[in-house]
Structure 1
């Protein structure tokens, strides 16, 4: 076990017995934004490179070989559109389309390959793709020589990490909120073959089941990120944040100084998470979307069973500053007002977010 607690008898197993396919990775995220120039300016300061650009669309990439990390298209309003998952083979895309009754299509020539678009139980488009063009490796960020242990590797030389963008290496994960959390969780496990690394539950409500899961790809004996997708119960179906890997703590910290110097707003950081163990730093883009730099995350193979833990704000990090009101979504402002409206609306509807769950969520915010 990687956690202090495992499942109790009868609790969710964290995986489907016979999933339709097993996706290999998270490929990219798609957004709409009205101002592509503003979006690109932040993206480059955050550490992305532009792989493709037209007047209506930009593709943002990391330094590692693979697909773009983010696709942004011009739209009348800012919104998260979908997540695209990479299948191990084109035959898996065809199988998924056949089983679900959805048409497999050729993707745009800028991406290549084929894809099928499904919808999760929250109505969010979910794309599964394969055979895409592989963007070539780009030069990575400089790795510093560190004086850990003996003999010292750096002698008669100083350490001066420059304030420059933390070069994004790859897309790590996306976090989604769902009013029908368990229904959506089971959909992703059953359709995409994802498996749960950790469950969180509200203190005093474990008997009602989990309210958050950190979910990874199942590659058998090959280790993969602790979570490629995280899902939480909430009063609305929405994007929460996405995370992008950088080289190390120096890249993350110096990159944060670069962002701050240009007037961008940190939401929470720097610290180290508990579930996943990543060193993290969260920022708000100009449209208010939450994005994360991370480094040194856990890698699990398929042999580990899910851990179980109570959800608390103080339990989000091993070290670092306390979780901010902005990160928790309770800072005064337009976003918290929208969340409050969503709470009242959700309590009037038939879903998993009821009055008892609201009390559990408020308890989390107060810890």
Structure 2
């Protein structure tokens, strides 16, 4: 970090708010994975706090307590991988506009719980995006109420105790997904231009080049999560993590107890983020993919301007465990090494200098 501590101006055009996006996405609807073992996936995710809502021979669906018919879809496949995600749009006209984009499918019926109509898209990094409309909601599931706190100057709980149940925390909803990409500029621009995402905060290197963008939905005067999508510069297109909202900090703590007792691998936490402010705790599924419990995140309207901040391990949390190097350590398989070399030659956003800087900071 430079000695003046003054933030430089961004030296590249993205991320930026688009003045007239194709559509404005309304909600992160679901994630899509492939896994070789649906039973093992179900055990992890139900311990994590989701509920199995539908299953057939080759597909598993899980839901949270909110009325969404499902928020997590898994297809049986020989190898484990992240495929993409679904975004709800407001109207059939939105689907029609998206269907005219290069590489888009036509408008088609959804075969998944909740039905509705969809258009399938591919972003510049190759992730599948399912734009959905008119999906039928399910009945919301019950969950415990948030605990009431006695503060030093305000006591609201008298002759009562705190005894949350020792069981998997109830996931209220899917909150956000974080992707790593080689083509950072094109991918950020695509989500801004075609789905209306707004950059809430950007983390930059010392020279001012952006490295991570936290993007929120443009819901006008309705408050939106600080980020529904985050995009980070990496050496290849890959999943970083997804996040699921819990009712309060005790639910996050209980989640840690239950996940530890059931033998799952802890990735990072508990702590509070700086950008987004969430109290967080991260867990790895059987294939090493990270899933976050969180509560108490920031909400912004569309009027809030973009913030710019230096990136560093210290900039990831206000308190709690320092982010371990294992959290961002890349998986250097032969296929990933081939992708690294190919993207160094091909991508305008990935250079040896930038890669060395990222490895120094987080490797």
TM bucket (normalised to shorter chain) is over 0.9
Offset of residue 59 of structure 1: 1.1
Corresponding residue number in structure 1 for 2:141: 138
Name structure 2 gaps, 5 residues minimum: 1-5
Q: Per-residue CA shift, 1:231-254, capped at 9, x if unaligned?
A: 011101111110000011100101
1:353 to 329, 350, 353: 350
- Do 1:168 and 1:244's aligned partners in 2 also have CA atoms closer than 8 Å? yes
Offset of residue 325 of structure 1: 2.0
Q: TM-score, normalised by structure 1?
A: 0.91
Corresponding residue number in structure 1 for 2:55: 53
Q: Per-residue CA shift, 1:168-225, capped at 9, x if unaligned?
A: 00011101111110011101111111110011111x221xx31110001101111100
Q: TM-score, normalised by structure 2?
A: 0.92
Q: Secondary structure at the match of 2:260?
A: helix
CA distance in 1: counterparts of 2:310 and 2:351, whole angstroms: 18
CA distance in 2: counterparts of 1:353 and 1:83, whole angstroms: 25
Residues 87/36 of structure 1: CA separation in 2 closer, same or farther (3 Å cut): same
Q: How many residues matched? A: 356
1:229-308 pair list within 5 angstroms = 229-308=229-308
Corresponding residue number in structure 1 for 2:316: 316
Corresponding residue number in structure 1 for 2:129: 126
Corresponding residue number in structure 2 for 1:104: 107
Name structure 1 gaps, 5 residues minimum: none
1:1-367 pair list within 5 angstroms = 12=14, 14-100=16-102, 102-108=105-111, 110-202=113-205, 204-206=206-208, 209-329=209-329, 335-336=331-332, 342-365=339-362
The more displaced of 109-118 and 11-20 is: 11-20
Q: Per-residue CA shift, 1:317-355, capped at 9, x if unaligned?
A: 01111101221226xxxx355666654453344441111
Q: Secondary structure at the match of 2:98?
A: helix
Q: Secondary structure at the match of 1:211?
A: strand
Residues 133/340 of structure 1: CA separation in 2 closer, same or farther (3 Å cut): same
Offset of residue 269 of structure 1: 0.2
Q: Secondary structure at the match of 1:173?
A: strand
CA RMSD in angstroms comes to: 2.1
CA distance in 2: counterparts of 1:262 and 1:8, whole angstroms: 45
Residues 109/284 of structure 1: CA separation in 2 closer, same or farther (3 Å cut): closer
Q: Secondary structure at the match of 1:163?
A: coil
Offset of residue 360 of structure 1: 2.0
Q: Secondary structure at the match of 2:90?
A: coil
